[in-house]
């Protein structure tokens, strides 16, 4: 029970920190909600409020062209008192969302799927952090706190993704499918996590029940389940808003990038400079680029599906059209699950210093560009490039480490030696 | 070259080379291997073990998965998003229009003759006059055709009924001109008067001037023919110069177009505004002081301008606005008015008239709404600078080509400037403005009858619109052929079809002498042709040569493609060499 006490303490402190920030600095939420690093056009709480206002006044929430988030958020948030006057309930909701995410992350850590899977056991499997430490890494990550205080709806997406991971690592198929379809419903790109997580779910189910389920049946059933759950969500949304217009306003915006508000990703600058006639082509190229990692990684690292899913969240944080620090916080909180890979990673200093560097310089350069007027868009874009570089270094380095770890298991005699890929 | 080693067991001093055919190679610096290998390790670099089946399969399927994304999704996306859609255009038909092959505009004018004569006499008169007319005419496209007014008047109708004209003139607008033959006993005959406000020519003759059935010519017929030729001379010159300048088809047939006529026509056409379906008229009152601060513009417009604009309604529409500007000063760039002792007036130099409008400070907006703006400026000079006149000719108004007109209204001497300008005070100004408007709209100077001039303008405008739309079609066809890389949306093809069908109808109407219909169709055709030519989505890639596409594709796709292609080639090579063995 010591662990539970420890966890309760941890969650209590995390909740207290958040509620303290909300109450001690009443202007902080709206300040953070206006920051492009935290709030993107598809996750901003201010835009959610706009959609909520239209929704409660019986106007289609997408008519204003401002709101691009999933329609099911509207009835959920319309139950809460108006956050402009009584923000406490909303603040509590977002705090609880963070705590639930941390709880799911702790479950993932406890399952031990990071280091020991059905087909693969890391040679350094004893090198791991406790689930409480990993949850603490998530809860006290400044990026997570900022996302929570800004009340960005990407916190909800993160919760769904983490729940899907937790349920997949426990082999709970139905809740896993529900969670992943909610995540895809909210943000579209998490659907790419389905194959590796389904693989993870299959692994745990096989390990638990001794006699392995038929893999084809398993794949077909789970895909069907995903289709049914997503379809049901979309139909409910259509019934709720009265039309299918929400598809163009939510997923259409994510796919076609009409809103070029700056963010920490790489797309906005590229598409402000793009020739109009090539815009559609490069939208396709960029999206395919994001998607093309999924099959390759899943095939290559099919023995470590949780690692594939983690790496994909890192790729999402870099290459999706509207990333924010919330996506980075998800990835950075998942990386500590793979503590056993850290000794093999080579560029940890470079990666962590560039992340730190951009965390401080990014807001400064944005200020120079937008408010002071002494900089230009290139200042901020350069910083987002370095930010993406830092994240890519972590992704690439951890990939290398995972491959090296597999090699160490396959060829124990090479352990500790310098290897060269040919 | 030694063959590449395939297994570690083959390692020997003889094959002590760098082998790059397998996936990993190890450094030999440390020796954690078994002691039996230690000796080998000293002697030779041990070759890595062969790849397992599984890792080979894994690697190939990873490469295949990337290629599958590229081929199955990337190529369709590339094909879909960069395909240039070019709607089919009837190029040959468009070029024919531009070359004037599809339509030779002809202007058959119908002239109704009302004669208090017996049908035989009337027919004979008509025939002889038509002969005389055809002899005079040098411009075949412009053709005057005489016909008896319908219904033909009984020969014994009284003169009173004829001159009254209400019951007899056919209210057919396709009749260009009516000739009323009126027998008189006194005065020089034959003589004629052109009604100023209706398309009617009254010809007075003595009954004995009617040609007898046997004679082939008569003074009356010749006289009528000459009068008609005179009336339509300017119109013929206008149309001839239009045909000459735009198509060059009829060059051989124009001899009568003298140099002076051509210069005069050119002067008129440079004055006139480009044709538009809607013009915007702005009347502005400018005064350098506080008075007059108002004018009775509504009723002045009502009385002087509205009838004129109504008579133009078949050709163009007009919108009108007015403004009053107090304390409007001269432009600093011109010489200030000087006092002229001889004329006892203040004078403006002629060369300063072009700079009279103080464009920087006077709020005369260049264009309001869709159509071009015609500006009319009424300037009331200061009491102590009055009267203000043009130095060289003492005039007080002038026309600014393609822009508008200016009138200086000098307040009456020996009295203060009135606070409000009444309708009577505005009368001279509005007479001038009306004349200026007529020349700005390109109305010909002759003949004296306003409806005739208007119908002339209608024909000229219809012809010039047909030419303009046709040449736009030709330009579009050339553009289509010259720039194969521009997209051509379906809307352009639709507009082209609309243009050609309306052009055809306009041409048919012209041939049948229905000029109002011709003008309307020509107007639609011109608008559709302009819309097709200036389609926004066509011009996006005009200045985008194919070489630039390399610069678009390479920076991003090149680095991605190189490892993909290299990996695929390497795998293919190893598969082929595996098959050979």
pLDDT tens per residue, range A101-141: 999 999 999 988 888 888 888 888 888 898 899 999 999 99
Question: Cα(B82)–Cα(B73) distance, rounded to whole angstroms?
Answer: 14
Percent of chain B whose predicted confidence (pLDDT) is above 90:
7
CA distance B476 to chain A (A): 21
Q: Give the residue from B251, B281, B285, B24 showing the smallest Cα distance to A420.
A: B24
pLDDT tens per residue, range B521-548: 998 999 899 888 888 877 766 666 777 7
Choose, out of A196, A296, A396, the residue to mutate when testing the contact with B (most B CBs < 10 Å): A296
Contact A420 B82 (CB under 8 A): no
Q: What is the 3-state secondary structure (H, E, C) of A182-236?
A: HHHHHHCHHHHHHHHHHHHHHHHHHHHHCCCCCHHHHHHHHHHHHHHHHHHHHHH
Q: What residue ranges of chain A have pLDDT lower than 70?
A: 1-3, 415-422
CA distance A116 to chain B (A): 20
Question: Cα(A8)–Cα(A16) distance, rounded to whole angstroms?
Answer: 12
Contact A278 B78 (CB under 8 A): no
Contact B58 A300 (CB under 8 A): yes
The structure tokens listed for B578 are 């595996």
Contact A281 B62 (CB under 8 A): no
Check pLDDT > 80 for residue B297: yes
Contact A296 B65 (CB under 8 A): yes
CA angle A47, A49, A53 (to 5 degrees): 120
Within 10 angstroms of residue B159's Cβ, the number of other Cβ atoms is 11
Render A87-122 in DSSP notation, one character per residue. Answer: THHHHHHHHHHHHHHHHHHHHHHHHTTTTB-SS-B-
> Residue B368: what pLDDT?
66
CA distance B484 to chain A (A): 15
What burial letters (b/e) apply to B370-407, b meaning 16+ CB within 10 Å?
ebbbbbbbbbbbeeebbbbbbbeeeebbbbbeebbbbb
CA distance A361 to chain B (A): 27
Contact A299 B65 (CB under 8 A): yes
- B83 pLDDT tier (thresholds 50, 70, 90): confident
Contact B26 A296 (CB under 8 A): no
Question: Cα(B174)–Cα(B104) distance, rounded to whole angstroms?
Answer: 20
pLDDT tens per residue, range B2-57: 333 333 333 333 333 333 333 333 443 443 444 444 444 445 555 666 667 778 88
CATH 1.10.3470 for domain B273-440: no
> Residue B169: what pLDDT?
39
Contact A357, A386 (CB under 8 A): yes
A contact set with B (CB within 8 A): 275-278, 280-285, 288-289, 291-292, 295-296, 299-300, 407, 410-411, 413-414, 416-422
Least confidently predicted of B73-77, B220-224, B400-404:
B220-224
Contact B374, B280 (CB under 8 A): yes
B contact set with A (CB within 8 A): 20, 22-27, 30, 32-33, 49, 52, 58-59, 61-62, 65-66, 68-70, 73-74, 77-78, 80-82, 487, 540-541, 544, 552, 556-557, 560
* DSSP letter (8 states) at residue B488: B
Using an 8 Å CB-CB cutoff, list chain B residues near A275.
544, 552
- B486 pLDDT tier (thresholds 50, 70, 90): confident
> Residue A93: what pLDDT?
94
pLDDT tens per residue, range B98-121: 888 888 888 888 888 887 777 778
Check pLDDT > 70 for residue B84: yes
Least confidently predicted of A159-173, B131-145, B282-296:
B131-145
CA distance B469 to chain A (A): 30
**Non-local CB neighbours of B538 within 8 Å, separated by 6+ positions:** B486, B487, B488, B489, B492
Question: Cα(B435)–Cα(A277) distance, rounded to whole angstroms?
Answer: 52
* Burial (0-12, 13-18, 19+ Cβ within 10 Å), B94: buried
Same fold, B107-237 and B273-440: no
* Burial (0-12, 13-18, 19+ Cβ within 10 Å), B232: buried
What burial letters (b/e) apply to B25-54, b meaning 16+ CB within 10 Å?
bbeeeeeeeeeeeeebbeeebbbbeebeee
Q: Higher-confidence residue: B557 or A225?
A: A225
Contact B132, B229 (CB under 8 A): no
Question: Cα(B444)–Cα(B233) distance, rounded to whole angstroms?
Answer: 11
Average pLDDT over residues B412-441: 85
CA distance B477 to chain A (A): 23
> Residue B535: what pLDDT?
82
Contact B62 A416 (CB under 8 A): no
Q: Give the residue from A244, A252, A236 showing the smallest Cα distance to A42.
A: A252
CA angle B529, B531, B535 (to 5 degrees): 125
Using an 8 Å CB-CB cutoff, list chain A residues near B52.
410
> Residue A419: what pLDDT?
62
Sign of CA dihedral B71, B73, B76, B81: negative
CA distance B24 to chain A (A): 6
Contact A421 B73 (CB under 8 A): no
Average pLDDT over residues B376-398: 85
Using an 8 Å CB-CB cutoff, list chain A residues near B22.
422
Q: Which residue in B26, B58, B73 is closest to A417 by CB distance? A: B26
Contact B62 A413 (CB under 8 A): no
Using an 8 Å CB-CB cutoff, list chain A residues near B487.
277
Domain locations in chain B as residue ranges:
8-43, 107-237, 273-440
CA distance A109 to chain B (A): 28
Using an 8 Å CB-CB cutoff, list chain B residues near A281.
77-78, 81-82
> Residue B24: what pLDDT?
39
Q: Which residue in A285, A417, A422 is closest to B27 by CB distance? A: A417
Render A347-365 in DSSP notation, one character per residue. Answer: -HHHHHHHHHHHHHHHHHH
> Residue A187: what pLDDT?
92
The structure tokens listed for A356 are 């730190």
CATH 1.10.10 for domain B107-237: no
pLDDT tens per residue, range B161-204: 343 433 333 445 578 888 888 888 777 777 888 888 888 888 88
**Non-local CB neighbours of B179 within 8 Å, separated by 6+ positions:** B111, B112, B113, B114, B146, B200, B201, B203, B224, B228
> Residue A135: what pLDDT?
93
Sign of CA dihedral A83, A88, A93, A99: positive
Which of left, alpha, beta for A62 (phi over 0: left; psi -120 to 50: alpha)?
alpha
DSSP element (H, E) containing B310: helix B306-311
Question: Cα(B282)–Cα(B543) distance, rounded to whole angstroms?
Answer: 40
Contact A285, A267 (CB under 8 A): no
The overall average pLDDT reported for chain B is: 78
B194 to A250, B221, B439: CA distances (angstroms): 74, 17, 21
> Residue A3: what pLDDT?
56
Which of left, alpha, beta for B545 (phi over 0: left; psi -120 to 50: alpha)?
beta
Domain locations in chain A as residue ranges:
2-249+261-338
**Tokens 């606005």 -> residue:** B321
């Amino acid at each position: 029970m010591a662990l539970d006490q420890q966890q309760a303490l941890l969650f209590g402190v995390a909740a207290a920190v958040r509620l303290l920030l909300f109450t001690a600095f009443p202007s902080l939420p709206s300040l953070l909600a206006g920051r492009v690093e935290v709030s993107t056009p598809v996750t901003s709480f201010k835009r959610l409020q706009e959609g909520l206002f239209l929704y409660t006044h019986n106007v289609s929430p997408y008519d204003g062209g401002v709101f691009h988030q999933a329609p099911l958020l509207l009835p959920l948030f319309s139950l809460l008192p108006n956050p402009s006057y009584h923000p406490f309930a909303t603040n509590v909701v977002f705090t609880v969302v963070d705590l639930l995410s941390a709880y799911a992350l702790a479950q993932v850590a406890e399952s031990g799927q990071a280091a020991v899977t059905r087909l693969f056991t890391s040679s350094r499997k004893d090198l791991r952090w406790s689930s409480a430490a990993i949850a603490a890494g998530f809860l006290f990550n400044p990026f997570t706190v900022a996302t929570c205080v800004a009340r960005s709806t990407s916190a909800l997406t993160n919760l769904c993704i983490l729940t899907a991971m937790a349920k997949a690592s426990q082999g709970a198929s139905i809740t896993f499918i529900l969670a992943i379809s909610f995540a895809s419903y909210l943000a579209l790109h998490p659907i790419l996590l389905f194959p590796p997580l389904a693989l993870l779910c299959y692994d745990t189910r096989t390990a638990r029940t001794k006699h392995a389920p038929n893999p084809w049946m398993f794949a077909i059933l789970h895909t069907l389940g995903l289709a049914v759950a997503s379809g049901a969500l979309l139909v409910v949304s259509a019934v709720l808003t009265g039309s299918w217009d929400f598809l163009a306003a939510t997923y259409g915006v994510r796919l076609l990038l009409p809103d070029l508000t700056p963010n920490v990703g790489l797309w906005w600058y590229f598409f402000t400079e793009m020739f109009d006639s090539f815009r559609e082509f490069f939208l396709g190229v960029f999206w395919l680029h994001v998607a093309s990692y999924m099959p390759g990684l899943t095939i290559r690292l099919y023995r470590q599906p949780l690692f594939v899913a983690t790496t994909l969240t890192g790729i999402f944080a870099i290459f999706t059209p509207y990333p924010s620090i919330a996506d980075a916080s998800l990835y950075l909180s998942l990386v500590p699950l793979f503590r056993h890979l850290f000794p093999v990673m080579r560029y940890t200093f470079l990666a962590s210093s560039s992340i730190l560097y951009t965390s401080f310089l990014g807001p400064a350069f944005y200020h120079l560009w937008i408010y002071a007027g002494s900089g230009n868009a290139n200042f901020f874009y350069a910083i987002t490039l370095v930010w993406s570089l830092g994240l890519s270094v972590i992704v690439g380095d951890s990939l290398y480490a995972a491959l090296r770890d597999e090699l160490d298991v396959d060829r124990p005699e090479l352990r500790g030696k310098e290897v060269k890929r040919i | 070259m030694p063959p590449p080693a395939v297994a570690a067991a083959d390692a020997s001093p003889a094959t002590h080379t760098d082998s790059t055919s397998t996936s990993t190679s190890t450094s030999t610096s440390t020796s954690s291997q078994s002691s039996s290998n230690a000796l080998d390790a000293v002697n030779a670099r041990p070759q890595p073990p062969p790849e397992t089946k599984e890792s080979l399969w894994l690697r190939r399927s990873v490469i295949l998965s990337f290629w599958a994304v590229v081929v199955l999704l990337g190529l369709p996306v590339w094909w879909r998003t960069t395909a240039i859609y070019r709607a089919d255009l009837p190029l040959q038909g468009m070029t024919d229009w531009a070359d004037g092959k599809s339509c030779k505009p002809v202007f058959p004018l119908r002239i109704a003759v009302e004669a208090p004569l017996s049908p035989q006499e009337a027919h004979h008169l008509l025939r002889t006059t038509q002969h005389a007319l055809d002899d005079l005419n040098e411009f075949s496209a412009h053709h005057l055709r005489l016909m008896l007014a319908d219904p033909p008047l009984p020969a014994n109708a009284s003169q009173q009924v004829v001159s009254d004209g209400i019951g007899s003139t056919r209210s057919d607008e396709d009749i260009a001109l009516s000739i009323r033959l009126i027998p008189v006993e006194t005065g020089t005959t034959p003589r004629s008067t052109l009604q100023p406000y209706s398309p009617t020519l009254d010809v007075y003759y003595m009954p004995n001037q009617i040609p007898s059935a046997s004679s082939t010519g008569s003074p009356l017929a010749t006289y009528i023919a000459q009068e008609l030729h005179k009336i339509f001379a300017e119109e013929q010159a206008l149309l001839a110069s239009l045909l000459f300048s735009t198509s060059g088809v009829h060059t051989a047939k124009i001899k009568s177009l003298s140099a002076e006529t051509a210069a005069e026509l050119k002067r008129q056409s440079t004055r006139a505004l480009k044709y538009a379906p809607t013009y915007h008229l702005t009347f502005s009152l400018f005064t350098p002081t506080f008075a007059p601060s108002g004018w009775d513009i509504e009723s002045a417009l009502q009385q002087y301008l509205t009838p004129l604009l109504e008579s133009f309604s078949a050709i163009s529409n007009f919108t009108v606005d007015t403004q009053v500007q107090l304390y409007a000063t001269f432009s600093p760039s011109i010489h200030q008015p000087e006092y002229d002792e001889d004329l006892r007036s203040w004078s403006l130099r002629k060369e300063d008239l072009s700079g009279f409008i103080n464009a920087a400070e006077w709020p005369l907006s260049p264009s309001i709404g869709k159509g071009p703006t015609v500006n009319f400026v009424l300037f009331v000079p200061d009491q102590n600078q009055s009267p203000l006149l043009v130095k060289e000719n003492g005039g007080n108004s002038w026309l600014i080509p393609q822009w508008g007109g200016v009138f200086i209204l000098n307040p009456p001497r020996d009295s203060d400037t009135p606070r409000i300008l009444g309708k009577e005070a505005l009368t001279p100004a509005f007479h001038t403005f009306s004349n200026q408007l007529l020349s700005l709209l390109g109305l010909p100077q002759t003949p004296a009858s306003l409806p005739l001039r208007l119908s002339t303008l209608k024909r000229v405008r219809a012809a010039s619109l047909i030419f303009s739309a046709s040449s736009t079609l030709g330009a579009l066809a050339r553009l289509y052929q010259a720039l194969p890389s521009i997209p051509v949306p379906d809307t352009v093809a639709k507009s082209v079809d609309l243009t050609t069908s309306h052009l055809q109808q306009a041409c048919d109407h012209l041939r049948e002498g229905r000029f109002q219909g011709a003008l309307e169709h020509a107007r639609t055709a011109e608008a559709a042709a302009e819309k097709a030519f200036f389609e926004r989505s066509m011009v996006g890639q005009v200045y985008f040569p194919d070489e630039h596409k390399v610069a678009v594709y390479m920076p991003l796709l090149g680095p991605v493609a190189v490892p993909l292609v290299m990996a695929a080639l390497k795998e293919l090579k190893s598969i082929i060499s595996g098959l050979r063995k």
